[in-house]
Amino acid sequence: MQERRHWPSSRPRFVEAETKLLYQRATVPTMATAPSASLRRWLLSLPPVEYALQQVRELFIGALRCGPVPRHVAFVMDGNRRYAREHKLETVEGHHLGFEALAKILEVCYKSGVEVVTIYAFSIENFKRSKYEVDGLMDLAKTKLTQMSQHGDLLDRYGASVRILGDLSLVREDVMAEVNRSVEMTAHNDQKVLNICFPYTSREEITRSIRNTVQEYSVPADRSGRSRPFSESRIQRSIRTSRRLSNITEEERGSKEDLQSLRTQSRGQDSQQQDAESTEISEQELDAESTAQPASSQTSYSPSPESRPSNPSTKSGPFKSGPQHLPDPETLTAEHLTKNTYTSNAPPLDLLVRTSGVYRLSDFMLWQCHEETEMRFLDCLWPEFDLWSFLPVLVEWQWRQRHERHEEGTSKLVKGI
């Protein structure tokens, strides 16, 4: 995970010249007075100005499509309430303006080629607030989902489906109805994805993934007629054991104490009752003995028949099937946990953007953020976030991708020489 905030000194000058003004436009707060702000809005609402701005937008978005585009982008939409306070608006109005900003950014992302957009809409931590505030947030979420349904034409235009990620058991029934409506109305779309994290925290997601993985590994596996699959750690232990046996010299074998200790660890038998030929264990015997063990065993040798406990499955009774084998925990990898996360079907997270100038993740996408995820923290508030705020972030991301690919190609060429 990398935090990108400064322009690298090696950046091409024409890129720096074109994007520096846009970056300043996105990060420097506007100090205009109320009359000048009204005049600015009036000028921007004129049809010729709107048409010119639309053409410029299309030009920039078309230029973005010519380069590498992040497949998965996540947004922490922060600053709605602060924006409302600064502009002397109701808090609800600030959230409504935030939704309008989201609709514009979704269009920019989908037009430029982004496949998956994930937004942080509601945190589980919000339930710790007062009942009055929680009810207000639920009503606000219901209103936003209703507005999302009204903007179905935007999602259908780009083939985007809505997915709600989070613990839906915490959601009220009336809000859940709007959730189902938003999901069902876009279920036929399969080109783009809009992930709405509601209600969500990354810790809850990771806990849920671990719980589901443990349940999967607690179900006996069907191992009839199959030998235990080798894992990398088991192969390494077998190699170490074979090397230890091969390094035993004739003098060490003459020592009854060393021989007894070795046989006790490997076969669980008294070395004085063994014939000298039993110390030579073939590789076929090791495989046969390891297959006979339960899958949860971590050793390469099995105890002697005298020391083995009787198998309850061989006793008379209603359970006459063979021993049940659990999946080998050595086969557990990070991919198993990823498979049980909410974003299991999404590509890796390429870019995470948070507005309002706050430098924290707020328990969002902790598992999805990997070593190549770029994180950008912008000083603008979310209702102010638009194409001109997002464009410098995408341009810098594209430049870094080209720079890294160029370095990889150069290193491969040098190695080939």
* 191 has a pLDDT exceeding 90: yes
Select the more confidently predicted residue: 51 or 363: 363
Domain ranges of the chain: 2-28+52-214+338-416, 232-307+322-331
Average pLDDT on 38-60 reads 80
Q: Are 357 and 340 in contact (CB under 8 A)?
A: no
Average pLDDT on 309-330 reads 57
* 355 has a pLDDT exceeding 90: yes
* 413 has a pLDDT exceeding 80: no
Average pLDDT on 315-320 reads 45
* 4 has a pLDDT exceeding 70: no
Q: Which residues are catalytic?
A: 78
* Number of neighbouring beta carbons within 10 Å of residue 326: 14
Q: Are 240 and 265 in contact (CB under 8 A)?
A: no
Task: Provide the pLDDT confidence category of residue 304 given band limits of 50, 70 and 90.
Answer: very low
* Residue pLDDT, tens place only, 385-400: 999 999 999 999 999 9
Cβ neighbours of residue 382 closer than 8 Å, sequence gap 6 or more: 77, 78, 79, 80, 83, 98, 101, 355, 356
C-alpha distance from residue 340 to each of 59, 176, 332, 335, 416 (Å): 40, 22, 13, 9, 41
* Residue pLDDT, tens place only, 80-105: 989 999 999 988 888 888 988 998 99
Residue 76 φ/ψ, nearest 5 degrees: -100, 105
Q: Are 192 and 159 in contact (CB under 8 A)?
A: yes
pLDDT at 141: 84
Q: Report the candidate in 404, 352, 392, 394 with the shortest Cα–Cα distance to residue 72.
A: 352
Least confident of 24-38, 131-145, 176-190, 394-408: 24-38
pLDDT at 18: 43
DSSP annotation of 53 reads: H
* Residue pLDDT, tens place only, 193-245: 999 999 999 999 999 999 999 999 888 866 554 555 555 556 666 676 666 66
CA angle 399, 402, 405 (to 5 degrees): 150
C-alpha to C-alpha distance for 16 and 65, rounded to whole angstroms:
19
Select the more confidently predicted residue: 65 or 327: 65
Tell me what percent of the residues of the chain surpass a pLDDT of 90. 39
> 373-377 long-range CB contacts below 8 Å, 24 or more apart?
373/1, 373/2, 373/348, 373/349, 374/2, 374/4, 374/350, 374/400, 375/1, 375/2, 375/3, 375/4, 375/351, 376/3, 376/4, 376/5, 376/351, 376/352, 377/3, 377/5, 377/353
Residue 177 φ/ψ, nearest 5 degrees: -65, -40
Q: Report the candidate in 383, 381, 341 with the shortest Cα–Cα distance to residue 365.
A: 341
Domain covering 2-28+52-214+338-416 in this structure, CATH number = 3.40.1180.10
Average pLDDT on 182-195 reads 92
pLDDT at 381: 96
Highest mean pLDDT among 143-157, 195-209, 253-267 belongs to 195-209
Task: Provide the pLDDT confidence category of residue 19 given band limits of 50, 70 and 90.
Answer: very low
| Average pLDDT over the chain, rounded to an integer | 76
C-alpha to C-alpha distance for 407 and 272, rounded to whole angstroms:
65
Q: Report the candidate in 175, 177, 154, 164 with the shortest Cα–Cα distance to residue 103.
A: 154
C-alpha to C-alpha distance for 388 and 19, rounded to whole angstroms:
10
